[in-house]
Amino acid sequence: MLNQFETGKYFGPITTPDATPDSYTASFTGTATSLDDESIVSSVDGDIYLESITTGSHTFKLRVTGGDILIGDAFYDFVFGKARLASSDGTTSVIVLGQIMDDQGDVSTIRLTMNTITPITNDLSEPISFTVDSSRSKIAKQWSLDATGDFGLV
């Protein structure tokens, strides 16, 4: 992924980039469960900062510009990432993929799927609530996340 990021291929084809990108934040709290031992559960708090790449009626791509996640006393910092929105049947899923670094300098992958009951549109005058889909949200090949939060304009 780092090679794709450095060569500009990471975000895929951008046919109509936003002239003036909008900035968003996704903040969440909940629990993280160990993938190795389900009896190990820790609190999780996270903030992800995003910027629109392209916004259209059928396409909404975002770039992760930063963020951090705290699981128990383990800190993870976003190195880079991307997100896309997929809407169907009145709901929206925000899928975030990226590289994170822990406090030991180890880099690993994160995948979060955030589901809303309210479609996300360009008009985000109020934050939209979401739930993190624990079956499709993994961090550092160590944790699954179960959380709730808000997505909105900065």
Calpha distance 105→129 (Å, rounded): 32
Give every CB contact of residue 72 below 8 A, 6+ residues apart in sequence.
32, 42, 43
**Mean pLDDT highest for which of 10-24, 113-127, 133-147?**
133-147
Q: Is the pLDDT of residue 17 over 80?
A: no
Instruction: Locate the domains of the chain by residue range.
Output: 28-119+128-153
Tracing tokens 């944790």 back to the chain, one arrives at 143
| pLDDT score of 24 | 92
Calpha distance 41→34 (Å, rounded): 6
Of the candidates 38, 105, 106, 40, the one whose C-alpha atom is nearest the C-alpha of residue 71 is 40
Torsion sign over Cα 5, 78, 112, 120? negative
| pLDDT score of 56 | 67
Tracing tokens 């550092």 back to the chain, one arrives at 140
Q: Is the pLDDT of residue 30 over 70?
A: yes
Q: Is the pLDDT of residue 38 over 70?
A: yes
Q: Is the pLDDT of residue 82 over 80?
A: yes
67: left (phi over 0), alpha (psi -120 to 50) or beta: left
Chain-centroid distance of CA 100 in Å reads 11
